[in-house]
Structure 1
Amino acid sequence: METSPVANTAPHTRAPQIPTGSQNTFVCLVRFALANIRRRPERFVLSVVGIALAIACVTVVRTISAGFAITGAESITDVLGGGQLWVVPAAGTHFDPQAQALVAAGPAPALTVPAGWSATRTLSGVVEVDGEPVALQGRDGIAGGEAVVGSKLAERLGVGRGDDVTVGAQQLRVVTAGDGQSLTVSTALARSLVGDNGWWVVSAPAGQENRRDLAAAFGAAAGLPYTADPAVRPDAAGTGMIYDTVGGSGPLTFEQKFSALFSGKVTGSTLGLISMIGLVLGFVIAVSSFLAAVTERKREFGIMSSIGLADEVLYFFLVESAMVFLTSYVVGVIVAGIAVALVIPGIATMTAWLQGAALTAMFLPAMAIVGALVPVHRLLQQRPVSLLGDRW
């Protein structure tokens, strides 16, 4: 008896297809990287901690630098008050970090003001108000019973418009004006407290405020040297110097140059050098971490390369390195913000921290690419057969 073949009724199972398309491929690479991180969490944590410390070191310096730049720009704006020329004494000026403002180091030079020009003399020094060091300025036109206080100083002193504040032995009524850190009183009161130290702020004749040769014209009449570079210091043996705030060459304004001068003092200091060393150590930690990962998993990548997935090996390391550096960056900038806020809260403004974090972020692409490409390049130089062997 002839029998018919039994039909195969078992369900046919198709092998899963590898997802195609850039979006699916990227998701698979992310999952692959996360799986590897879960498999070796200690390596991920150590890599993140090491790189985050380097990023925090750089971010701290950049935040301090940005904070000083902002402070420098605000202090020079507070001094100029809309004037075009700033005439400083031969002893120059300096920034008092406790008072957070510019202070004159000597008496203002004698000045001959040409017809049509106007010059305002400002006395300058540091006094204590309620136990706080304050930059005191003295100007004509301020009532004897008033103290004009900048908004930031008012916040620091905890006073507002209409409150009373004791300056020297006198009780003055607070009038808030401007955003600076200075307290302005009458010339007579300022002279009794800080002497004759100060500077001049000169305004050009009406309609000539934007002339590029204001310093040359005024300097010839006053017999004083002039410059548009705030980095140039006056001659201590001379009589003073004129800073031109509207002239000079280049796209930067005088305020921006002054701000950059403050910032450069931080980045060019020993602190800036230490941050660069920390950044280099971050590169070394990143490369060492990924080299160790490659050495440990060479068989796995040898199999991938042997079946034509060599490109995926490169993409995988790029994705994994990006995840490591992104996590390190977030941890590093948060730690840096906390550190600066605790140590120097006067500099740790949100704007300075954001600027510092943005400047540090520019290093991330290079760190991620180098951290991934160096070990992957070493990996892909080997044949799949050699990767499957016992020796590198």
Structure 2
Amino acid sequence: MKHGALTIVLVESPAPTIVRSPEIARTSGNTFGCLVRFAVANIRRRPERFVLAVLGIALAIACVTVVRTISASFAITGEDSVTDVLGSNQLWVVPAGGVHYDPDVRALIADGPAPTLSTPPDWTATRTLSGTTTVDGATVSLRGSDAVAPGRAAVGAGVAERLGIAPGATVDIGGQPLTAEIAGTGQSITVAAPLAGSLVGDNGWWTVAAPTGDEHRRDLAQLFGAATGLPATADPSVQPDPTGSGLIYDTVGGSGPLTFEQKFSALFSGKVTSSTLGVISTIGLILGFVIAVSSFLAAVAERKREFGIMSSIGLADEVLYFFLVESGITFLAAYLVGVLGAGVAVALVIPQIATFTAWGQAAGMVAAFIPAMAIVGALVPVHRLLQQRPVDLLGGR
């Protein structure tokens, strides 16, 4: 029997194609648009979970934003109040009792009589009396200065707006009618020293200007301290010795990039963020993050088979991207609800210290945490999901 030759024909098979879901195929390469639609579809399928997650995270964000807004408001207030006191002077000599910020009058108030000074030649020291008084039933910061003529009252723009005092209006202070003039942007009313002394006593401080040409020397406090016998510091957190005569605050000779005013404002801000309120807000933010992760873990548990199918046909990466997009949408919605709610709450509850600038600073600070929280919030449930084989996901285990 004659056998024919065996002929083998090799046929080159076409390259394997990546099978994508119909939804992805219709996007013409725009995978991100597909993922957004997937995320929105899942949100619409379980709107109650999305709403609860957003509200939980938003409440935490609102707590942090409120605290940060208060902190930023105090920081702005602290810097403005010090600038109002110092003017163009380089040194601030406070009494042994120190000074404090009075939130009712929104200004710094002296807690004792200004120390006795023997001013060196060419130095200019200006004594300012400081205390509080009542004007039209409202408590205000009152200062006394020899630069204000009798019968006149230099009213800061802030207190003028708060009390509705117009230029040229008559202001009754200590039973004396004074003609008001708007001076500066502060929250104090400055009158002649004798009138102020009859109301606030000798309480006050000194502001000192260096000799011409020496304004920017870094050793001004040391020179003036050696001439007057008073201690000096560039740290506003240092308080004067109650048993001493007073303390010199150096506003030009401190180290570091921050000015004295900025250090003083940071001191104000730190008191808020380190308080119990600040700790509670931080705990709230952590709880909000836990709520988000729990929500995504529940979503993974419900959709194991769906993601198992996606993983088995080569779409494991899309699973990760899907959760990143859904996490981003959730945190973005929570952020908007939280910061807007915080702004409304602060404006209604504490309008006297809340400003749009402070709210904007707080919202910007909180926004810096959102991307990281969204990414981590998606990675935790996805990591648990991808640790399993697609067959296990399809089997429902």
Common fold, TM-score beyond 0.5?
A: yes
Q: Letter of the aligned partner of 1:150 in structure 2? A: G
- 1:267 is matched with which residue? 273
Distance 1:390 1:35 in 2: 22
- 1:177 is displaced (CA, Å) by 1.4
- 1:390 is displaced (CA, Å) by 2.4
- 1:19 is displaced (CA, Å) by 3.0
Deviations 1:252-306 (A, max 9, x none): 1001100100000000111110011001101110110100111111111111111
Q: Letter of the aligned partner of 1:91 in structure 2? A: G
Q: Letter of the aligned partner of 1:138 in structure 2? A: G
Q: Please give the residue correspondences for 1:145-294 in structure 2 after superposition, counting only pairs within 5 Å.
A: 145-294=151-300
- 2:80 is matched with which residue? 74
Match of residue 27, structure 2, among 3, 16, 19: 19
Query: CA contact under 8 A between 2:158 and 2:187: conserved in structure 1?
Result: yes
Q: Letter of the aligned partner of 1:45 in structure 2? A: V
- 1:380 is matched with which residue? 386
- 1:363 is displaced (CA, Å) by 1.4
Distance 2:125 2:73 in 1: 31
Distance 1:128 1:318 in 2: 58
- 2:67 is matched with which residue? 61
Q: Letter of the aligned partner of 2:33 in structure 1? A: V
Distance 2:274 2:372 in 1: 22
Deviations 1:24-77 (A, max 9, x none): 211111111111111111001000000000000000000000000000000000
DSSP 3-state at the match of 1:185: strand
Matching of residue 121 in structure 1 with residue 127 in structure 2: yes
DSSP 3-state at the match of 2:92: strand
**Normalising to structure 2: TM-score of the pair?**
0.93
- 1:3 is matched with which residue? none
Q: Letter of the aligned partner of 2:161 in structure 1? A: E
- 1:343 is matched with which residue? 349
Query: CA contact under 8 A between 2:304 and 2:396: conserved in structure 1?
Result: no
DSSP 3-state at the match of 1:98: coil
Deviations 1:184-210 (A, max 9, x none): 111011001100000000000001000
Q: Letter of the aligned partner of 1:19 in structure 2? A: T
Matching of residue 45 in structure 1 with residue 27 in structure 2: no
- 2:309 is matched with which residue? 303
Structure 1 unmatched ranges of 5 or more:
1-14
Match of residue 90, structure 1, among 79, 92, 96: 96
Matching of residue 369 in structure 1 with residue 375 in structure 2: yes
Matching of residue 316 in structure 1 with residue 322 in structure 2: yes
Query: CA contact under 8 A between 2:27 and 2:33: conserved in structure 1?
Result: no
DSSP 3-state at the match of 1:263: helix
Q: Letter of the aligned partner of 1:168 in structure 2? A: G
Distance 2:286 2:233 in 1: 39
Deviations 1:156-200 (A, max 9, x none): 011121112111211111111111111111101100110000000
Q: Letter of the aligned partner of 1:260 in structure 2? A: A
Query: CA contact under 8 A between 2:221 and 2:232: conserved in structure 1?
Result: yes
Distance 2:356 2:341 in 1: 14
Query: CA contact under 8 A between 2:143 and 2:190: conserved in structure 1?
Result: yes
In angstroms, what is the RMSD of aligned CA positions?
Answer: 1.0
DSSP 3-state at the match of 1:324: helix
Q: Letter of the aligned partner of 2:27 in structure 1? A: P
Q: Letter of the aligned partner of 1:51 in structure 2? A: I
- 1:20 is displaced (CA, Å) by 4.3
- 1:357 is displaced (CA, Å) by 0.7
Distance 1:138 1:188 in 2: 8
Match of residue 325, structure 1, among 326, 331, 334: 331
Distance 1:261 1:173 in 2: 37
DSSP 3-state at the match of 2:189: strand
Distance 2:255 2:301 in 1: 56
DSSP 3-state at the match of 1:108: coil
Distance 1:174 1:385 in 2: 84
Query: CA contact under 8 A between 2:130 and 2:144: conserved in structure 1?
Result: yes
DSSP 3-state at the match of 1:119: strand
Query: CA contact under 8 A between 2:92 and 2:207: conserved in structure 1?
Result: yes
Q: Letter of the aligned partner of 1:338 in structure 2? A: V
- 1:358 is matched with which residue? 364
- 1:18 is displaced (CA, Å) by 4.3
**Normalising to structure 1: TM-score of the pair?**
0.94
- 1:8 is matched with which residue? none
DSSP 3-state at the match of 1:387: helix
Q: Letter of the aligned partner of 2:356 in structure 1? A: M
Distance 2:139 2:299 in 1: 55
- For this pair of structures, how many residues does the alignment match? 375
DSSP 3-state at the match of 1:95: strand
Distance 2:35 2:345 in 1: 35
Query: CA contact under 8 A between 2:54 and 2:331: conserved in structure 1?
Result: yes
Q: Letter of the aligned partner of 1:352 in structure 2? A: A
Structure 2 unmatched ranges of 5 or more:
1-21
